[in-house]
Structures are given as C-alpha cells and as structure tokens.
Amino acid sequence: MRQLGTAATKLRVHLPHYGNALVGTAALPPITLNLVDGQVTNLDFVTEIAPGDTDTMRKVVNEWLKGNLETLQVTGATALSLKSGIFPLGTHDVSESMVFEANELPSIPEYTMQSLVFHDVPTGDNGQMGVGANVSMTAYNEFPIDLTIPSLGFEVLVPNCNLSQPNIKIATAATSAIEVHAKSNVTVEAEGIIRELPESLTKACPPSEFSPLDNFMKRYLHGEDAEVFVRGKAPEGGDLPGWIGEFIESITVPVQFPGRSLDNFLRNFSLDDVDFKLPSPFADPNDAESKPRVSGTVLILAAIPADLDINIEVTSLRANGDLLYKGIKFGELHVDEWQKATSNMIHNPGDEEDLLKVVSRIVDTPIDISDSDTFSNIIQELLFGDEDIILDVNSTVDVKVSTVLGNLVIRRVPAAGKVPVKRPSSTW
C-alpha cells in the first residue's frame, strides 16, 4: 500500500458553544497521498464554500470586535471514503476540535493610510455638488491565504453627542477589487463621497455649544486621531454574493482617522492699520470706558494642503488671545462677536502650497489688562517714546467657512502674530 486516496467529500465546520451552529461547508475534491517514507505530498486544489448560519457568524464577529470573545471552539467533521488503488477501505467519520484563546484569534491588522485627498465633485444633474475623497491604505497579510475580494461598499459614521444615540452617517464609499496575497502587503483603494451634512451633525450637544462635528474636528485639526465607524454596505450592481452583503451590513468597525496638526497652518497673522485708544482717566473702573481699545485690519494667510482640493470661502471670524510686550503678557483681547471677513485664494506655481488670504476688520475692541505695570510702560512708550512699539499676540481663531456642503465653523485654530502700534490718534 503505497498510496491512499479519498473520494470527494464535504467538510462541515460547527461552533459547539453556539448551539453547534453550522459556520459553513467546504466541498473537497478527491485527494491522493503518497505513503512513501520521507516523501511530501503537496496539495493544491480549489474548493467551494457554502455559508451556514450567518446570524451566528454575525454574533461571533460582533463579540470579537467588542472584545467580549474570550475563547472560540471550532469543530470540523466529515465522512471520508478511503481506498488504496482499487481496494475500498470503507467510510470513516472524522471529527476534530480546536479551541482558540482570545490572544490567538486574528486581530484587525495594523494599517497605514498612504493618501487621503478631498475634492469637490458633482452629485447630480442639477448642479448639486458634494465632497469626494480618494483613500489608499496598506495592511500586511500575515496569513498563507491568497484571494480576490470583490468591490465592497461602506458607510462612514461619526459618534453622536453620547453613546445612547445612534452614530451619524456622513459618507458612503466603495473599494475597488482587492488582491490579497499570502505574507505580503495588501493595498486597498477606495472612493467616497459626502453629499450633505445632516442636521444632527452640526446641532449643538446640550448643554454645550459644541456639535458632534465640532468634537470631531477638534481632535482631527489638532493632530489627534479622531474615531470614525465603518459599516459594510452591499454595493449596487456589484459581484458580491447576497449573503456576504447581508453579513457585512451588520458589522460596524471603529477606525482611527489620522489627525492633522494646525501648528503651521497659519503662515501669517497680523493686525495692520492699528488705532490704539487709551482709556479715559475719568471713567469708573467697572465701566467699559476704563479699558483701552484697539481697532485694525486683521490679515491672515493660511496654507492650504495639496490634498484639500475643495472650494473654501471664509465669511466671518472671531478670536481670543493674549497680548504680550517684550515677552510679558499684559492683557487679553476678546473678539467674541463674529466679524465679517472676505477671502480669496492665492494660487502658487509648481509644488508651492496655495494660500488663502483672509481679511477682516475689528473696531474699538476692548483689552482686559492683567499686568498694569507692563501696561504703564507701554503707555509711557506711546506718549513719550520716539518710536512705534510692537506687541505680540498669541490667540485662537474661530472661522466660519462656506463650502459646497454648506456653512461650517472651524474652532480654535492656533495663531501667533505681531501688532504694530503707532502713537495713538487720540489719548482720551
């Protein structure tokens, strides 16, 4: 007996701890093994897998994603009909069980976002516009598996005000076909589109003034990873089998969206044509007239990243910041009311970044003095000095922007600049 053969058979995989639910059935072709000492038989065959209880599979995957799956027992069973040459050796029931601990179960692979580009796109025949996104991600496949994954659809959601409320859908996306090769990097290309911003996304979360969009942008625009959720969606007219489409639509996976630092976003922040008015010496200390006031033209130059190819117009701004003289803070400037602003794009040639120029005007904005000694030195320089003085300002700026999706508020953009102060036009 130098060879052992099996007839075509079906391998059934069950989950004993889930009511012995059938995960799936694999059709195995006839196999012949060489029974020669030291000789290795290489097996290479294609099998068809029929899904079993998809509801149980969905339950197992969701428990795994939530970290509630400590162990998983899997049992494979088949009836093998054996023969050697022309001699039948009977049919034998074969069953084997394996128990996987939580640390042995496959985890969501670490991935690297290679590129993320936003751009304006038409969304209909009546001139409607939306924001499209092209994404490229890479992950390493550590398993000895080759397969082709057909195009998959997804919905992208962001957290609501609190965990008791459903996540908010903001975009749809679809991947191209994905080629997976054993022990190698896998690249996923996807295209998404944001057609509109739901009201629940921009509505403030009581009792704060911040909306779910504000909370998301706060993390994203300050260099922190912002969490989004990706839920499967069967693409229309695709090659995806119906049972897989139903399965992925029940799965929601948290994804860390890499943040973008705004530390170098504003290339210039200055106050020109400054008119600095000293307080009236006869005003009551609690009266607004007891505070110095400043008027001027706010000029901002913001660098627009190459991967943000969307039309942006700044319509208004406000700011809060510290005023310093020779490195010492002496007061605070609070522009609490929205000030009208205009903007225009400056397109630079070659690989240079485009710049967004923003201009606004503040008039008679009061300054809260925190260091009276330093402020007294400033007054003496203004009244008796021979030269203009330069103040420093460290602030955060809120801006209202108009996009194809509507009006948005971007909050707390860090800004630092200079405030040249000439001799006052009037002392009081």
Residues 226, 184 within the same domain: yes
**190: Cα within 13 Å, side-chain hemisphere:** 21
Among 84, 104, 124, identify where a domain stops.
Answer: 104
Res 424 pLDDT > 60 = no
Residues 140, 285 within the same domain: no
Domain that holds residue 19: 3-104
Report percent pLDDT > 90 for the chain: 40
Query: How far, in Å, CA of 291 to CA of 81, rounded?
Result: 96
Q: Is residue 333 part of a domain?
A: yes
Q: Is residue 388 part of a domain?
A: yes
Q: Is residue 158 part of a domain?
A: yes
Q: Is residue 221 part of a domain?
A: yes
Query: How far, in Å, CA of 214 to CA of 201, rounded?
Result: 9
Q: Is residue 407 part of a domain?
A: yes
State the pLDDT at residue 426: 45
Q: Is residue 428 part of a domain?
A: no
State the pLDDT at residue 288: 67
pLDDT in tens, 310-330: 898 999 999 999 999 999 999
Query: How far, in Å, CA of 278 to CA of 191, rounded?
Result: 57
Q: Taking Cα atoms as reference points, which of 298, 310, 272 lies closest to residue 415?
A: 298
pLDDT in tens, 233-272: 887 766 777 777 888 888 888 888 777 766 667 888 888 8
CA dihedral 206, 210, 214, 220 (to 10 degrees): -100
State the pLDDT at residue 319: 92
Q: Is residue 21 part of a domain?
A: yes
Residues 235, 313 within the same domain: no
Question: What is the C-alpha end-to-end distance of the chain, expressed in Å?
Answer: 113
Residues 305, 326 within the same domain: yes
What's this model's pTM, rounded to 2 decimal places?
0.75
Residues 99, 117 within the same domain: no
Query: How far, in Å, CA of 132 to CA of 127, rounded?
Result: 15
39-58: average pLDDT: 85
Cβ(339)–Cβ(349) below 8 Å? no
Q: Comparing 122 with 242, which gets the higher pLDDT?
A: 122
Mean per-residue pLDDT of the chain:
86
User: Tokens at residue 135, please?
Assistant: 């994404």
Residue type, 336: D
Name 208's Cβ contacts closer than 8 Å, sequence gap at least 6: none
Residues 88, 131 within the same domain: no
Cβ(275)–Cβ(244) below 8 Å? no
pLDDT in tens, 287-315: 767 788 889 999 999 888 878 888 989 99
CA angle 376, 381, 384 (to 5 degrees): 110
